Chain A
Protein backbone atom coordinates (compact mmCIF):
# COMPACT_ATOMS: atom_id res chain seq x y z
CA UNK A 1 0.00 0.00 0.00
CA UNK A 2 2.91 2.32 0.40
CA UNK A 3 4.95 1.59 -2.63
CA UNK A 4 6.89 4.44 -4.04
CA UNK A 5 5.78 3.36 -7.47
CA UNK A 6 8.72 3.75 -9.79
CA UNK A 7 11.30 3.86 -7.01
CA UNK A 8 13.52 6.90 -6.71
CA UNK A 9 13.10 9.75 -9.11
CA UNK A 10 16.18 11.86 -9.76
CA UNK A 11 17.09 14.15 -6.89
CA UNK A 12 17.15 17.89 -7.21
CA UNK A 13 19.37 18.35 -4.15
CA UNK A 14 21.12 15.63 -2.09
CA UNK A 15 19.21 14.52 1.02
CA UNK A 16 22.03 15.41 3.43
CA UNK A 17 22.19 18.94 2.07
CA UNK A 18 18.45 19.57 2.53
CA UNK A 19 18.58 18.01 5.99
CA UNK A 20 21.55 20.10 7.11
CA UNK A 21 19.97 23.32 5.83
CA UNK A 22 16.66 22.43 7.49
CA UNK A 23 18.21 21.71 10.88
CA UNK A 24 20.48 24.76 10.89
CA UNK A 25 17.65 27.10 9.84
CA UNK A 26 15.30 25.70 12.47
CA UNK A 27 17.98 25.92 15.18
CA UNK A 28 18.57 29.56 14.27
CA UNK A 29 14.80 30.06 14.21
CA UNK A 30 14.38 28.63 17.71
CA UNK A 31 17.09 30.88 19.17
CA UNK A 32 15.72 33.93 17.36
CA UNK A 33 12.22 33.13 18.62
CA UNK A 34 13.67 33.08 22.12
CA UNK A 35 15.68 36.30 21.89
CA UNK A 36 13.53 38.48 19.64
CA UNK A 37 10.66 40.54 21.12
CA UNK A 38 7.33 38.75 21.36
CA UNK A 39 5.75 40.30 18.24
CA UNK A 40 8.62 39.10 16.02
CA UNK A 41 9.15 35.59 17.40
CA UNK A 42 6.34 34.01 15.37
CA UNK A 43 7.17 35.98 12.21
CA UNK A 44 10.86 35.06 12.05
CA UNK A 45 10.92 31.89 14.16
CA UNK A 46 7.92 30.33 12.45
CA UNK A 47 9.30 30.97 8.98
CA UNK A 48 12.70 29.45 9.78
CA UNK A 49 11.24 26.46 11.61
CA UNK A 50 9.13 25.56 8.54
CA UNK A 51 12.48 24.41 7.10
CA UNK A 52 12.51 21.51 9.58
CA UNK A 53 9.20 20.27 8.12
CA UNK A 54 10.68 20.40 4.62
CA UNK A 55 13.77 18.47 5.75
CA UNK A 56 11.56 15.83 7.39
CA UNK A 57 9.30 15.53 4.34
CA UNK A 58 12.33 15.06 2.12
CA UNK A 59 13.64 12.23 4.32
CA UNK A 60 10.18 10.61 4.32
CA UNK A 61 10.30 10.73 0.52
CA UNK A 62 13.66 9.00 0.48
CA UNK A 63 12.81 6.20 2.92
CA UNK A 64 9.17 5.59 1.99
CA UNK A 65 10.08 5.12 -1.68
CA UNK A 66 11.47 1.71 -0.63
CA UNK A 67 7.95 0.64 0.40
CA UNK A 68 7.44 0.47 4.16
CA UNK A 69 4.54 -1.99 3.90
CA UNK A 70 2.53 -0.07 6.49
CA UNK A 71 1.79 3.20 4.77
CA UNK A 72 3.74 6.44 4.68
CA UNK A 73 1.91 7.98 7.70
CA UNK A 74 3.43 5.41 10.05
CA UNK A 75 6.95 6.78 9.67
CA UNK A 76 5.76 10.36 10.06
CA UNK A 77 3.98 9.45 13.27
CA UNK A 78 6.94 7.59 14.79
CA UNK A 79 9.15 10.57 13.98
CA UNK A 80 6.80 12.88 15.85
CA UNK A 81 6.55 10.39 18.72
CA UNK A 82 10.32 10.50 19.15
CA UNK A 83 10.30 14.25 18.51
CA UNK A 84 7.81 14.90 21.35
CA UNK A 85 10.02 13.13 23.83
CA UNK A 86 13.15 14.92 22.65
CA UNK A 87 11.51 18.37 22.57
CA UNK A 88 9.95 18.06 26.03
CA UNK A 89 13.09 16.50 27.50
CA UNK A 90 15.26 19.20 25.95
CA UNK A 91 13.32 21.89 27.79
CA UNK A 92 12.76 20.10 31.10
CA UNK A 93 16.14 18.38 31.67
CA UNK A 94 18.11 21.66 32.01
CA UNK A 95 15.61 22.68 34.70
CA UNK A 96 16.06 19.35 36.51
CA UNK A 97 19.85 19.56 36.32
CA UNK A 98 19.98 23.25 37.14
CA UNK A 99 21.87 24.39 34.04
CA UNK A 100 21.01 27.30 31.75
CA UNK A 101 17.87 26.83 29.66
CA UNK A 102 19.64 28.12 26.55
CA UNK A 103 21.07 24.64 25.90
CA UNK A 104 17.52 23.35 25.27
CA UNK A 105 17.62 23.27 21.42
CA UNK A 106 21.07 21.61 21.39
CA UNK A 107 19.98 19.11 24.04
CA UNK A 108 16.83 18.37 22.03
CA UNK A 109 19.00 17.76 18.96
CA UNK A 110 21.26 15.36 20.85
CA UNK A 111 18.39 13.43 22.49
CA UNK A 112 16.59 13.18 19.14
CA UNK A 113 19.77 11.85 17.50
CA UNK A 114 20.26 9.21 20.20
CA UNK A 115 16.60 8.11 20.35
CA UNK A 116 16.30 8.09 16.55
CA UNK A 117 19.45 6.04 16.15
CA UNK A 118 18.44 3.45 18.76
CA UNK A 119 14.85 3.10 17.51
CA UNK A 120 16.24 2.87 13.97
CA UNK A 121 18.56 0.04 15.05
CA UNK A 122 15.60 -1.70 16.71
CA UNK A 123 13.55 -1.58 13.50
CA UNK A 124 16.42 -3.32 11.73
CA UNK A 125 17.55 -5.85 14.28
CA UNK A 126 14.78 -7.62 16.14
CA UNK A 127 11.99 -6.31 13.90
CA UNK A 128 13.73 -6.96 10.58
CA UNK A 129 12.96 -4.06 8.25
CA UNK A 130 14.92 -4.61 5.05
CA UNK A 131 15.44 -0.98 4.05
CA UNK A 132 19.18 -0.17 3.78
CA UNK A 133 18.84 3.48 4.84
CA UNK A 134 16.45 2.78 7.74
CA UNK A 135 18.76 3.72 10.63
CA UNK A 136 19.91 6.96 9.02
CA UNK A 137 16.38 7.91 8.02
CA UNK A 138 14.94 7.26 11.48
CA UNK A 139 17.70 9.41 12.99
CA UNK A 140 17.02 12.23 10.54
CA UNK A 141 13.26 12.00 11.02
CA UNK A 142 13.55 12.04 14.78
CA UNK A 143 15.66 15.21 14.58
CA UNK A 144 13.34 16.88 12.06
CA UNK A 145 10.27 16.04 14.15
CA UNK A 146 11.87 17.30 17.36
CA UNK A 147 13.05 20.54 15.73
CA UNK A 148 9.63 21.23 14.20
CA UNK A 149 7.85 20.58 17.51
CA UNK A 150 10.22 22.61 19.64
CA UNK A 151 10.41 25.36 17.02
CA UNK A 152 6.71 25.99 16.55
CA UNK A 153 5.98 25.79 20.28
CA UNK A 154 8.87 28.16 21.05
CA UNK A 155 7.65 30.56 18.38
CA UNK A 156 4.23 30.43 20.03
CA UNK A 157 5.50 30.95 23.58
CA UNK A 158 8.29 33.34 22.59
CA UNK A 159 10.66 31.91 25.19
CA UNK A 160 12.59 28.77 26.05
CA UNK A 161 12.41 29.47 29.77
CA UNK A 162 11.08 26.17 31.26
CA UNK A 163 8.29 27.59 33.41
CA UNK A 164 7.01 29.84 30.62
CA UNK A 165 7.26 26.94 28.18
CA UNK A 166 5.35 24.57 30.48
CA UNK A 167 2.57 27.10 31.08
CA UNK A 168 2.42 28.35 27.51
CA UNK A 169 2.94 25.25 25.41
CA UNK A 170 2.48 22.11 27.48
CA UNK A 171 -0.38 22.82 29.86
CA UNK A 172 -2.38 24.63 27.17
CA UNK A 173 -2.09 21.70 24.77
CA UNK A 174 -0.27 23.65 22.05
CA UNK A 175 2.19 20.75 21.96
CA UNK A 176 -0.63 18.48 20.78
CA UNK A 177 -1.42 20.91 17.97
CA UNK A 178 2.27 21.01 17.04
CA UNK A 179 2.31 17.21 17.09
CA UNK A 180 -0.39 16.80 14.50
CA UNK A 181 0.27 19.84 12.28
CA UNK A 182 4.02 19.25 12.06
CA UNK A 183 3.31 15.53 11.64
CA UNK A 184 1.03 16.19 8.69
CA UNK A 185 3.57 18.58 7.17
CA UNK A 186 6.22 15.87 7.37
CA UNK A 187 4.24 12.86 6.19
CA UNK A 188 1.79 14.42 3.74
CA UNK A 189 4.00 15.66 0.85
CA UNK A 190 5.31 12.27 -0.20
CA UNK A 191 2.05 10.52 0.68
CA UNK A 192 0.26 12.84 -1.74
CA UNK A 193 2.85 12.80 -4.51
CA UNK A 194 4.05 9.18 -4.55
CA UNK A 195 3.61 7.14 -7.67
CA UNK A 196 5.39 6.36 -10.92
CA UNK A 197 5.43 10.01 -11.98
CA UNK A 198 6.76 11.39 -8.67
CA UNK A 199 9.24 14.23 -9.10
CA UNK A 200 11.48 15.70 -6.43
CA UNK A 201 10.67 19.27 -7.42
CA UNK A 202 6.92 18.75 -7.02
CA UNK A 203 7.22 16.91 -3.69
CA UNK A 204 9.54 19.60 -2.33
CA UNK A 205 7.16 22.36 -3.44
CA UNK A 206 4.32 20.67 -1.61
CA UNK A 207 6.61 20.20 1.40
CA UNK A 208 7.33 23.94 1.44
CA UNK A 209 3.60 24.67 1.16
CA UNK A 210 2.89 22.28 4.05
CA UNK A 211 5.59 23.87 6.21
CA UNK A 212 4.19 27.33 5.50
CA UNK A 213 0.61 26.36 6.30
CA UNK A 214 1.79 24.87 9.59
CA UNK A 215 3.32 28.26 10.33
CA UNK A 216 -0.03 29.85 9.36
CA UNK A 217 -1.91 27.60 11.80
CA UNK A 218 0.40 28.68 14.60
CA UNK A 219 0.07 32.35 13.62
CA UNK A 220 -3.70 31.99 13.88
CA UNK A 221 -3.42 30.33 17.27
CA UNK A 222 -1.14 33.14 18.46
CA UNK A 223 -3.44 35.77 16.83
CA UNK A 224 -0.37 37.36 15.21
CA UNK A 225 -1.88 39.32 12.31
CA UNK A 226 1.39 40.11 10.47
CA UNK A 227 2.53 36.46 10.54
CA UNK A 228 -0.93 35.34 9.42
CA UNK A 229 -0.86 37.61 6.37
CA UNK A 230 2.75 36.84 5.44
CA UNK A 231 2.40 33.08 5.90
CA UNK A 232 -0.87 32.78 3.96
CA UNK A 233 0.58 34.79 1.05
CA UNK A 234 3.75 32.66 0.95
CA UNK A 235 1.65 29.51 1.25
CA UNK A 236 -0.59 30.61 -1.62
CA UNK A 237 2.44 31.24 -3.84
CA UNK A 238 3.93 27.81 -3.07
CA UNK A 239 0.61 26.02 -3.39
CA UNK A 240 -0.35 27.63 -6.69
CA UNK A 241 3.06 26.63 -7.99
CA UNK A 242 2.45 23.06 -6.81
CA UNK A 243 -1.00 22.86 -8.43
CA UNK A 244 0.37 24.19 -11.72
CA UNK A 245 3.18 21.61 -11.59
CA UNK A 246 0.67 18.85 -10.90
CA UNK A 247 -1.45 19.90 -13.89
CA UNK A 248 1.63 20.00 -16.08
CA UNK A 249 2.81 16.53 -14.99
CA UNK A 250 -0.70 15.08 -15.21
CA UNK A 251 -0.91 16.39 -18.75
CA UNK A 252 2.35 14.65 -19.54
CA UNK A 253 0.79 11.36 -18.42
CA UNK A 254 -2.53 11.90 -20.20
CA UNK A 255 -0.99 12.70 -23.56
CA UNK A 256 1.01 9.52 -24.00
CA UNK A 257 1.87 8.80 -27.59
CA UNK A 258 -0.33 6.24 -29.25
CA UNK A 259 0.83 2.68 -28.66
CA UNK A 260 2.11 1.21 -31.93
CA UNK A 261 -0.28 -1.38 -33.34
CA UNK A 262 0.82 -5.00 -33.66
CA UNK A 263 2.18 -6.07 -37.02
CA UNK A 264 3.18 -2.60 -38.07
Chain B
Protein backbone atom coordinates (compact mmCIF):
# COMPACT_ATOMS: atom_id res chain seq x y z
CA UNK B 1 0.00 0.00 0.00
CA UNK B 2 1.18 3.56 -0.65
CA UNK B 3 2.02 6.02 2.12
CA UNK B 4 -1.22 8.03 1.95
CA UNK B 5 -3.52 5.03 2.32
CA UNK B 6 -1.49 3.99 5.38
CA UNK B 7 -1.31 7.47 6.90
CA UNK B 8 -5.06 8.18 6.77
CA UNK B 9 -6.05 5.16 8.92
CA UNK B 10 -3.23 6.02 11.33
CA UNK B 11 -4.59 9.54 11.79
CA UNK B 12 -8.16 8.21 12.09
CA UNK B 13 -7.13 5.79 14.82
CA UNK B 14 -5.31 8.50 16.76
CA UNK B 15 -8.39 10.74 16.61
CA UNK B 16 -10.64 7.79 17.51
CA UNK B 17 -8.58 7.11 20.65
CA UNK B 18 -8.82 10.73 21.74
CA UNK B 19 -12.61 10.74 21.15
CA UNK B 20 -13.10 7.49 23.11
CA UNK B 21 -11.10 8.86 26.02
CA UNK B 22 -13.08 12.12 26.01
CA UNK B 23 -16.38 10.21 25.78
CA UNK B 24 -15.75 8.28 29.00
CA UNK B 25 -15.50 11.56 30.95
CA UNK B 26 -19.15 12.34 30.08
CA UNK B 27 -20.59 9.09 31.39
CA UNK B 28 -22.08 9.26 34.93
CA UNK B 29 -20.11 6.53 36.70
CA UNK B 30 -21.01 5.94 40.31
CA UNK B 31 -18.99 2.85 41.07
CA UNK B 32 -19.59 0.82 44.21
CA UNK B 33 -21.06 3.75 46.22
CA UNK B 34 -23.74 4.23 43.56
CA UNK B 35 -24.60 0.55 43.79
CA UNK B 36 -25.68 1.38 47.37
CA UNK B 37 -27.38 4.60 46.16
CA UNK B 38 -24.93 6.80 48.08
CA UNK B 39 -23.39 8.43 45.02
CA UNK B 40 -24.78 9.88 41.78
CA UNK B 41 -24.58 7.79 38.63
CA UNK B 42 -24.96 4.20 37.53
CA UNK B 43 -23.65 1.68 40.05
CA UNK B 44 -20.75 0.11 38.20
CA UNK B 45 -17.20 0.91 37.12
CA UNK B 46 -16.14 3.09 34.20
CA UNK B 47 -14.71 0.17 32.26
CA UNK B 48 -17.91 -1.85 32.36
CA UNK B 49 -20.19 1.06 31.42
CA UNK B 50 -17.95 2.36 28.66
CA UNK B 51 -17.35 -1.14 27.35
CA UNK B 52 -21.07 -1.99 27.33
CA UNK B 53 -21.99 1.12 25.42
CA UNK B 54 -18.88 1.07 23.24
CA UNK B 55 -19.32 -2.53 22.12
CA UNK B 56 -22.93 -1.97 21.21
CA UNK B 57 -21.74 0.98 19.15
CA UNK B 58 -19.10 -1.20 17.56
CA UNK B 59 -21.69 -3.87 16.68
CA UNK B 60 -24.00 -1.24 15.20
CA UNK B 61 -21.11 0.15 13.17
CA UNK B 62 -20.05 -3.32 12.00
CA UNK B 63 -23.56 -4.23 10.83
CA UNK B 64 -23.83 -0.93 8.97
CA UNK B 65 -20.34 -1.33 7.46
CA UNK B 66 -21.28 -4.75 6.08
CA UNK B 67 -24.32 -3.17 4.37
CA UNK B 68 -23.10 0.16 2.99
CA UNK B 69 -19.35 -0.24 2.39
CA UNK B 70 -16.66 2.39 2.83
CA UNK B 71 -17.80 5.21 0.53
CA UNK B 72 -18.01 8.73 1.99
CA UNK B 73 -21.76 8.44 2.66
CA UNK B 74 -21.11 4.93 3.95
CA UNK B 75 -18.59 6.19 6.50
CA UNK B 76 -21.02 8.87 7.70
CA UNK B 77 -23.75 6.25 8.08
CA UNK B 78 -21.39 3.90 9.97
CA UNK B 79 -20.46 6.68 12.40
CA UNK B 80 -24.11 7.61 12.97
CA UNK B 81 -25.08 3.96 13.41
CA UNK B 82 -22.32 3.50 16.00
CA UNK B 83 -23.36 6.63 17.88
CA UNK B 84 -27.09 5.74 17.93
CA UNK B 85 -26.49 2.12 19.04
CA UNK B 86 -24.23 3.26 21.81
CA UNK B 87 -26.72 5.94 22.95
CA UNK B 88 -29.57 3.42 23.05
CA UNK B 89 -27.51 1.02 25.14
CA UNK B 90 -26.39 3.58 27.70
CA UNK B 91 -29.80 5.30 27.71
CA UNK B 92 -31.53 2.02 28.58
CA UNK B 93 -28.91 1.23 31.22
CA UNK B 94 -29.41 4.62 32.88
CA UNK B 95 -33.21 4.43 32.61
CA UNK B 96 -33.47 0.99 34.21
CA UNK B 97 -30.95 2.02 36.86
CA UNK B 98 -33.05 5.09 37.52
CA UNK B 99 -36.24 3.02 37.88
CA UNK B 100 -34.51 0.82 40.44
CA UNK B 101 -33.13 3.82 42.35
CA UNK B 102 -36.49 5.62 42.45
CA UNK B 103 -38.98 2.78 42.89
CA UNK B 104 -36.75 0.10 44.39
CA UNK B 105 -34.35 1.92 46.69
CA UNK B 106 -36.66 4.90 47.12
CA UNK B 107 -34.28 7.83 46.61
CA UNK B 108 -34.79 11.12 44.79
CA UNK B 109 -32.40 11.61 41.85
CA UNK B 110 -30.11 14.45 42.93
CA UNK B 111 -26.71 15.67 41.76
CA UNK B 112 -24.15 16.57 44.39
CA UNK B 113 -21.68 18.51 42.25
CA UNK B 114 -24.03 21.37 41.26
CA UNK B 115 -26.43 23.65 43.20
CA UNK B 116 -29.08 23.68 40.47
CA UNK B 117 -29.42 21.32 37.55
CA UNK B 118 -27.94 23.22 34.55
CA UNK B 119 -30.62 21.80 32.23
CA UNK B 120 -33.88 21.74 34.18
CA UNK B 121 -32.87 24.51 36.65
CA UNK B 122 -34.23 22.39 39.51
CA UNK B 123 -32.52 22.85 42.88
CA UNK B 124 -30.41 19.81 43.78
CA UNK B 125 -28.74 20.38 47.15
CA UNK B 126 -31.86 20.10 49.39
CA UNK B 127 -32.56 16.63 48.01
CA UNK B 128 -29.12 15.15 48.65
CA UNK B 129 -29.26 12.88 51.70
CA UNK B 130 -26.72 13.99 54.33
CA UNK B 131 -23.66 11.76 54.33
CA UNK B 132 -24.05 10.79 50.67
CA UNK B 133 -22.79 12.38 47.46
CA UNK B 134 -26.10 12.39 45.63
CA UNK B 135 -28.09 9.47 44.28
CA UNK B 136 -29.91 8.30 41.17
CA UNK B 137 -29.36 9.66 37.67
CA UNK B 138 -30.57 13.30 37.50
CA UNK B 139 -31.38 14.95 34.15
CA UNK B 140 -27.98 16.60 33.72
CA UNK B 141 -26.19 13.27 34.26
CA UNK B 142 -28.55 11.51 31.84
CA UNK B 143 -27.92 14.08 29.09
CA UNK B 144 -24.19 14.01 29.78
CA UNK B 145 -24.25 10.21 29.57
CA UNK B 146 -26.03 10.33 26.20
CA UNK B 147 -23.42 12.76 24.84
CA UNK B 148 -20.66 10.49 26.12
CA UNK B 149 -22.25 7.40 24.60
CA UNK B 150 -22.60 9.13 21.23
CA UNK B 151 -18.93 10.15 21.28
CA UNK B 152 -17.89 6.65 22.36
CA UNK B 153 -19.88 5.08 19.54
CA UNK B 154 -18.34 7.48 17.01
CA UNK B 155 -14.84 6.76 18.36
CA UNK B 156 -15.30 3.00 18.24
CA UNK B 157 -16.80 3.16 14.75
CA UNK B 158 -13.95 5.38 13.52
CA UNK B 159 -11.35 2.93 14.83
CA UNK B 160 -13.22 0.07 13.13
CA UNK B 161 -13.37 1.99 9.83
CA UNK B 162 -9.64 2.76 10.06
CA UNK B 163 -8.81 -0.91 10.49
CA UNK B 164 -11.08 -1.94 7.61
CA UNK B 165 -9.28 0.63 5.45
CA UNK B 166 -5.99 -1.04 6.31
CA UNK B 167 -7.35 -4.12 4.56
CA UNK B 168 -7.92 -6.22 7.68
CA UNK B 169 -10.83 -8.67 7.65
CA UNK B 170 -13.99 -7.53 9.51
CA UNK B 171 -13.46 -10.17 12.23
CA UNK B 172 -9.88 -9.06 12.83
CA UNK B 173 -10.80 -5.37 12.68
CA UNK B 174 -13.58 -5.93 15.23
CA UNK B 175 -11.30 -7.83 17.59
CA UNK B 176 -8.59 -5.18 17.41
CA UNK B 177 -11.17 -2.42 17.85
CA UNK B 178 -12.31 -4.11 21.07
CA UNK B 179 -8.74 -4.12 22.40
CA UNK B 180 -8.26 -0.55 21.23
CA UNK B 181 -11.48 0.52 22.95
CA UNK B 182 -10.48 -1.09 26.25
CA UNK B 183 -7.04 0.56 26.33
CA UNK B 184 -8.53 4.02 25.85
CA UNK B 185 -11.52 3.49 28.15
CA UNK B 186 -9.29 2.27 30.99
CA UNK B 187 -6.81 5.12 30.51
CA UNK B 188 -9.78 7.49 30.83
CA UNK B 189 -11.08 5.74 33.92
CA UNK B 190 -7.65 5.97 35.57
CA UNK B 191 -7.68 9.67 34.72
CA UNK B 192 -11.09 10.06 36.38
CA UNK B 193 -10.04 7.93 39.33
CA UNK B 194 -13.32 6.42 40.47
CA UNK B 195 -16.57 8.31 40.11
CA UNK B 196 -17.72 11.21 37.94
CA UNK B 197 -21.15 12.79 37.47
CA UNK B 198 -20.83 14.24 33.99
CA UNK B 199 -19.72 17.45 32.33
CA UNK B 200 -20.67 19.57 35.38
CA UNK B 201 -18.31 17.63 37.68
CA UNK B 202 -15.04 19.41 38.66
CA UNK B 203 -13.17 16.21 37.70
CA UNK B 204 -14.25 16.83 34.09
CA UNK B 205 -11.52 19.50 33.90
CA UNK B 206 -8.89 16.74 34.14
CA UNK B 207 -9.94 15.55 30.67
CA UNK B 208 -6.96 17.00 28.67
CA UNK B 209 -4.50 14.73 30.53
CA UNK B 210 -6.47 11.64 29.62
CA UNK B 211 -6.88 12.77 26.00
CA UNK B 212 -3.11 13.33 25.66
CA UNK B 213 -2.39 9.89 27.10
CA UNK B 214 -4.90 8.25 24.76
CA UNK B 215 -3.57 10.11 21.73
CA UNK B 216 -0.06 8.77 22.37
CA UNK B 217 -1.32 5.24 23.13
CA UNK B 218 -3.56 5.24 20.03
CA UNK B 219 -0.71 6.46 17.83
CA UNK B 220 1.41 3.55 19.07
CA UNK B 221 -1.49 1.13 18.49
CA UNK B 222 -1.98 2.62 15.03
CA UNK B 223 1.69 2.21 14.08
CA UNK B 224 1.63 -1.48 15.06
CA UNK B 225 -1.66 -1.97 13.20
CA UNK B 226 -0.16 -0.36 10.09
CA UNK B 227 2.89 -2.66 10.36
CA UNK B 228 0.49 -5.61 10.31
CA UNK B 229 -1.13 -4.42 7.10
CA UNK B 230 2.06 -3.64 5.16
Contact = CB atoms under 8 A, between A and B. Distances in A.
A96 B227 contact: yes
B35 to A, nearest CB: 9
B140 to A, nearest CB: 23
**Band of interface residues on A:** 35 or more
B179 interface: yes
A69 B212 CA distance: 21
Interface of B: 31-33, 45-48, 51, 169, 171-172, 175-176, 178-183, 186-187, 189-194, 209-210, 212-213, 216-217, 220-221, 224-225, 227-230
Contacts of B230: 96-97
B217 A118 contact: yes
A199 to B, nearest CB: 23
Contacts of B46: 70, 74
Interface stretch (A10-18, A30-38, A42-50, A121-129): A121-129
A192 B85 CA distance: 32
Contacts of A40: none
A89 B228 contact: yes
B169 A81 contact: no
A81 B180 contact: yes
Contacts of B31: 1, 70-71
Interface SS, A side: helix
Contacts of B224: 85, 89, 111, 115
Contact of B179 (A85, A171, A173): A85
Nearest to A118: B220
Contacts of A88: 172, 175-176, 228
Contacts of A129: 190
A89 B222 CA distance: 11
Interface in A71-108: 71, 73-75, 77-78, 80-85, 88-89, 92-93, 96-97
Given A70-B186, A84-B178, 12 more contacts: A69-B194, A73-B47, A73-B48, A74-B186, A74-B190, A82-B179, A89-B225, A93-B228, A119-B217, A126-B210, A127-B187, A127-B190
B190 A123 contact: yes
Nearest to B219: A118
A66 interface: no
Contact of A122 (B32, B33, B178, B217): B217
A131 to B, nearest CB: 10
A222 B222 CA distance: 32
Nearest to B51: A77
Contacts of A83: 179
Interface centre among A71, A81, A82, A173 (most CB of B within 10 A): A81
Contacts of B213: 122-123, 125-127
Contacts of B176: 84-85, 88
A77 B186 contact: yes
